[in-house]
């Protein structure tokens, strides 16, 4: 069974729709989306356009498969309100850092709620929809099917949440980057990466050294200095994840259902703790 969303933001989008949309309509929409009924689908700013194949129904005189045109317009947040939201987002280090690293924090909606705004759909008033089918209900099953495709697009681009509300990802990150917290993080992100040097061998080259003094047997086996009785445990050092987090949760090369960042964090943790028991 196809799953339309594998991320929290896609799931939240569907959950928000379920709060004010008829359950039966959504079920029929899911079957339409899964059945490949959507012939074309595009998103431009806060508008979604699609062409969906209808059903043959001789009872209603439909003997040839029809094609219906769907238009969905999501209510934009006013520019003055966006300024307030960005000022609020800019004051939170954890939010700024994740947004600049192409992540959308799970609690992002809390920041908007503090201002009386909503990033996710909140009510029927957030949508202006139309379908050329004869169904009088809104949303019809064709519109509901497109809703699920929007949720699937959110998996690939979580910043679509912002774009559907009237603010592009580029504009959002540019405004966050000029804030005090954004400048501090941006300077770290803009640092030049160390170039990789090609090595001809995995092992260190051997060097010959001339020994002028002849060591005695005691120094040979025990050394000149006595070893300490106790060994201090090395303090744990964190591994910078900036390069990994730049890729986001689901980069183009990552085709698994789990988050790429979470997988790398687990790998780092295993590497750090692998030989601790030998100390």
- Is the pTM higher than 0.85? no
Confidence of residue 1 (pLDDT cuts 50, 70, 90): very low
* Residue located via tokens 């300024």: 83
Please provide residue 66's backbone torsions phi and psi, each rounded to the nearest 5 degrees: -85, 165
Residues 116-129 pLDDT 10s: 888 888 878 888 88
The string of pLDDT tens digits covering residues 220-278 is 777 777 777 776 666 555 556 666 777 777 777 777 777 788 888 888 888 777 766 65
- What is the pLDDT at residue 189? 61
Q: Of 4-8, 143-147, 213-217, which has the strongest mean pLDDT? A: 143-147
* Mean pLDDT value across residues 37-56: 85
Range of lowest pLDDT (19-33, 58-72, 81-95)? 19-33
Sorting pLDDT into bands at 50, 70 and 90, what band is 58? confident
Do residues 34 and 52 make contact, with C-beta atoms less than 8 angstroms apart? Answer: no
Supply 97's token pair.
């850092």
On average, the pLDDT of the chain sits at 79
The residue among 146, 124, 173 whose CA lies nearest residue 47 is 146
Long-range contact list for 108-117, CB < 8 A, 24+ apart?
Answer: 108/161, 109/12, 111/85, 112/85, 114/88, 115/81, 115/84, 115/85, 115/88, 117/77, 117/81, 117/85
Q: How far apart are CA 69 and CA 62, in angstroms?
A: 17
- What gap in Å lies between CA 56 and CA 58, rounded to an integer? 7
């Amino acid at each position: 069974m196809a799953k339309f969303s594998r991320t929290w933001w896609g799931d939240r989008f569907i959950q928000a729709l379920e709060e004010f949309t008829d359950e039966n309509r959504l079920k029929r929409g899911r079957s339409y989306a899964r059945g490949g009924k959507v012939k074309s689908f595009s998103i431009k700013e806060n508008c979604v356009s699609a062409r969906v194949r209808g059903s043959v129904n001789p009872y209603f005189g439909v003997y040839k498969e029809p094609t219906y045109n769907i238009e969905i317009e999501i209510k934009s947040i006013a520019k003055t309100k966006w300024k307030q939201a960005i000022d609020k987002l800019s004051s939170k280090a954890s939010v700024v850092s994740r947004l600049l690293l192409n992540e959308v924090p799970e609690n992002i909606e809390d920041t908007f709620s503090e201002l009386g705004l909503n990033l996710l759909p909140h009510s029927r008033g957030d949508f202006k929809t139309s379908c050329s089918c004869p169904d009088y209900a809104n949303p019809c099953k064709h519109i509901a099917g497109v809703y699920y495709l929007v949720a699937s697009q959110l998996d690939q681009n979580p910043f679509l949440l912002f774009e559907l509300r009237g603010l592009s990802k580029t504009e959002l990150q540019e405004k966050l980057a000029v804030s005090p917290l954004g400048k501090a993080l941006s300077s770290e992100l803009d640092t030049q990466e160390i170039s990789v040097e090609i090595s001809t061998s995995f092992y260190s080259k051997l060097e010959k050294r001339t020994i002028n003094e002849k060591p005695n047997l005691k120094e040979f086996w025990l050394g000149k200095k006595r070893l300490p009785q106790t060994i201090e445990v090395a303090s744990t050092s964190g591994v910078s994840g900036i390069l990994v987090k730049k890729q986001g949760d689901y980069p183009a090369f990552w085709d698994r259902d789990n988050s790429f960042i979470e997988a790398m964090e687990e790998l780092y943790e295993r590497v750090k703790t692998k030989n601790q028991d030998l100390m």
